Structure 1
Amino acid sequence: MRKYVTTRRLDRVFLELYRIYIFIGRFFKEVFLPPYEAKEILAQCYEVGVRSLPLISLTGFIIGIVFTNQSRPSLAEFGATSWLPALISIAIVRALAPLVTAIIAAGRVGSSIGAELGSMKVTEQIDAMEVSATNPFKFLVVSRVLATTLMIPALTMYTMFVALMGAYLSVHQNELTSITTYFVQVFSAISFLDIFASVIKSFLFGFTVGMVGCYKGYHSSKGTEGVGKAANSSVVTAMFLIFIEELLTMQIINAIRAF
């Protein structure tokens, strides 16, 4: 009996992996085929990007201040507070900005996409779109995944700027460093590879957030309970994958730096 239950569970796991493979494959097929839902893509970019700015601004600014205040005592023990701008820039550009932006997007955007598509699925609105000769996958899934893939990198760059400005206020308040000196030290500590790697990671994170939210919502069931589960699992799964991707990309980037 136990062996039978284990086999059933493995079957469900492999079936789920197959569905994910088909879903992702269909996205890459549909994204290059007309018609191109430009208006819906722009609407979703506004929803993902512009509407996330207040939360991103506040979070990035606070991260810059908090990280600076937490790092200063450790550097002060060695009389190395002059290294603070360089340390801040490396931490924010390489790791904090893309990771924090992706996590916020997973919580705000991923849950919204999962709940929206889940609600449309259980109320049979997606089936109605198919009957009316509209491609619901193109209109609902492709537009949202493209929006998150394009806007998360832009939000990441904005988070970098806001976090560095928050860190500057903390540095200036304690060390009276001028803004020119501060940014000279910031940019001398990072390279083009750091910025390029963060942007590439952000594209990957954005694709993950959009794809997970759309998949969970598009395949939700069991009425309103399924909508709640779709929203919740969208956030949890996206965050888990983001951390895994961060770990893998960090290893790859470090290997590239070693050459």
Structure 2
Amino acid sequence: MQLSHDYAEHLPQLVRLSQGEEQPDPHLLFLNEPLALELGFDPGWLRSPAGLDLLLGHDTAHAMAYSGFQFGQFNSYMGDGRALLLGEARVGDDFLDLHAKGTGLTPFSRPGSDGRATLSSILREYLVSEAMHALGVPTTRGLAVISTGRKIQRGHVRPAGVGVRVAASHLRVGTFHYAQLGDGTNQLQALADYAISRHYPAAIKSENPYKEFFRLVVESQMRTVAKWQRLGFIHGVMNTDNTTISGQTIDYGPCAFMESYDLATVFSSIDNGGRYAYGNQPHI
């Protein structure tokens, strides 16, 4: 099947055309076949060299732009520094993003970054996101885990990997920060119109669609965080570049399920003040 590039076509100022790096010895370690079928893919084709090229970002792909409040400090120019939006699959009336992480450098990569990811972190995100899905929490899904055959330095030398995830979209709160800093109201309104059409079309009929959009985003995020609290799940880095407009859980970095009840529990080595502690998640 052919992926569309609906987001890039509607909002070209919020993406940069990019491509995944060539990998020395790529192997598809795991494919979520039920999810692949749901997206309209032939699992056998995804396992082929052409399918692997798609998953590694060797076809048309884009790095997404966004800003973010990171532990309360605003970073105006961010974006996908080691990930690519591969495109969208149409499922019924909806678009679903395919997004690959660990694909190499992009126009948004930070100085000194290699744009890669450890295979262990990719496996971790796959396992936790699929567990959250099974537990009824709105979340990105894991589609594929790929070993690249490359070794990278992360404290120790470790094997590198690429993970492909699926989401209702990768529109973040930080995407709106970025649009607001662009050409003013026009870019921000275009993004809001796109987000409403894709995620909350019922808001179009309200007296004030943008106010209704805001209310619906808040409600969706509240429902998600309430489910985190019920499960004792700690996201670890609830920066605005890691929070979605759809309300889906995204970016499983230093996350964990709390083993004993303690409101002050944190799970990020740099969260010294407990900003994103378990007990603070609803407030944040």
TM category, shorter = under 0.3
Higher share in helix:
1
Higher share in strand:
2
Larger Rg belongs to: 1
> TM-score by structure 1 length?
0.26
The structure with higher relative contact order (CA 8 Å, sep 6+) is 1
> TM-score by structure 2 length?
0.24
